[in-house]
């Protein structure tokens, strides 16, 4: 297993890398299997690698040296792979952020074009989507100080400037005839949000919503809450309706004209009790 054709630096999920590694060697090496891969990585259970790739088992941190040696990784690749594993198994957001920064630094040093996936960069700060909407239709040069002053909660001119640079680099806005426009009118995250970056973005947005209770007059906002008891079937129906409403909302926005202000629409639906099956003896 010393011929490595799949670059670990192209991945930010160690399971995805292992899956790509398996597919490549399965295609190029006669007799290659999950059993042989597992044995080369130092494990006894013949299905261990498949279970790891499928998310049913985790890699032991104490075995990383043996694993990276079995994968044929050099020192830089081994350190990067180890960061991926540590990121995936980190217990709190602070630890995840620490390892994500290390992952980004490793990718940069190995001349990967994008330091992080586009999604991570775009959702790394709550104001990037806001700035994207705000500059649409405006001419260059932008007045970053004025834009910063129009945002609640307030952002700095430097943050606005850096945000615009990021949006241009990621291709989320374009400059035509000295005028900014959106490369795609609407952006929407997937219904099932698993990305750490998007989860962190949602936390930041919720903090902004919390501030709006004190800083924005009631006529300028709409906040409501209801606590209900539902069955698993009811949960599924409500979740589906929420997703349908979000699509309808995006349709309304797509047909809106002469837009002037930017809003956040936050929708949360989460349990306040443990699943009923966990309470059974």
80-99 confidence digits (pLDDT tens): 999 999 988 888 878 888 88
pLDDT of 244 strictly over 50: yes
User: What is the tens place of the pLDDT at every residue in 192-212?
Assistant: 334 666 777 777 888 888 888
| 204, 159 contact by CB (below 8 A) | no
The SS3 assignment for 89 reads helix
User: What is the tens place of the pLDDT at every residue in 25-49?
Assistant: 998 888 899 999 999 998 888 889 9
Residue 119's pLDDT is 60
Angle at 207 between CA 201 and CA 211, to 5 degrees: 145
- CA–CA separation, 186 vs 193, rounded Å? 17
Q: Cβ neighbours of residue 83 under 8 Å, at least 6 residues apart?
A: 99, 102, 103, 106
First-last CA distance in the chain: 48
Residue 76's pLDDT is 85
Domain ranges of the chain: 8-110
Q: Which CATH architecture has domain 8-110?
A: Orthogonal Bundle (1.10)
Residue 164's pLDDT is 93
Which of these, 264, 272, 281, 131, lies nearest to 204 by C-alpha position?
Answer: 264
- For the segment 147-153, the average pLDDT, to the nearest whole number, is 86
Structure tokens at 42: 């130092």
Polymer length of the chain: 281
| 204, 126 contact by CB (below 8 A) | yes
Structure tokens at 130: 């806001």
Q: Model-level pTM? A: 0.48
Which of these, 265, 262, 270, lies nearest to 245 by C-alpha position?
Answer: 265
- CA–CA separation, 195 vs 201, rounded Å? 10
Structural Rg of the chain based on CA atoms: 23
Q: What are 175's strand-pairing partners?
A: 180
Q: Which segments within the chain are labelled E, that is strand? A: 173-176, 179-182
């Amino acid at each position: 297993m010393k011929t490595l054709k799949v670059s670990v630096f192209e991945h930010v999920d160690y399971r995805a890398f292992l899956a790509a590694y398996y597919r490549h060697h399965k295609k190029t090496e006669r007799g290659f299997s999950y059993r042989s891969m597992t044995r080369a990585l130092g494990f006894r259970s013949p299905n261990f690698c498949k279970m790891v790739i499928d998310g049913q088992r985790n890699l032991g941190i104490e075995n990383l040296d043996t694993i990276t040696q079995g994968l044929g990784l050099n020192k830089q690749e081994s350190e990067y792979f180890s960061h991926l594993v540590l990121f995936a198994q980190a217990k709190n957001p602070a630890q995840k952020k620490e390892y994500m920064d290390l992952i980004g630094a490793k990718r940069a040093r190995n001349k990967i074009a994008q330091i992080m996936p586009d999604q991570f960069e775009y959702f790394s700060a709550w104001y990037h989507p806001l700035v994207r909407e705000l500059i649409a239709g405006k001419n260059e040069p932008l007045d970053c100080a004025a834009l910063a002053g129009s945002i609640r909660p307030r952002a700095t001119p430097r943050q606005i400037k850096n945000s615009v640079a990021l949006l241009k680099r990621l291709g989320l806005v374009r400059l035509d005839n000295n005028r900014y426009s959106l490369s795609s009118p609407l952006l929407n995250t997937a219904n099932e949000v698993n990305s750490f970056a998007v989860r962190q973005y949602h936390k930041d947005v919720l903090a902004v919503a919390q501030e709006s209770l004190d800083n924005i007059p009631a006529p300028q906002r709409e906040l409501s809450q209801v606590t209900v008891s539902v069955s698993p079937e009811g949960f599924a129906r409500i979740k589906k309706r929420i997703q349908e409403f979000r699509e309808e909302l995006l349709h309304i926005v797509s047909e809106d004209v002469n837009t002037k202000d930017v809003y956040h629409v936050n929708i949360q639906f989460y349990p306040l009790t443990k699943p009923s099956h966990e309470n059974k003896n």
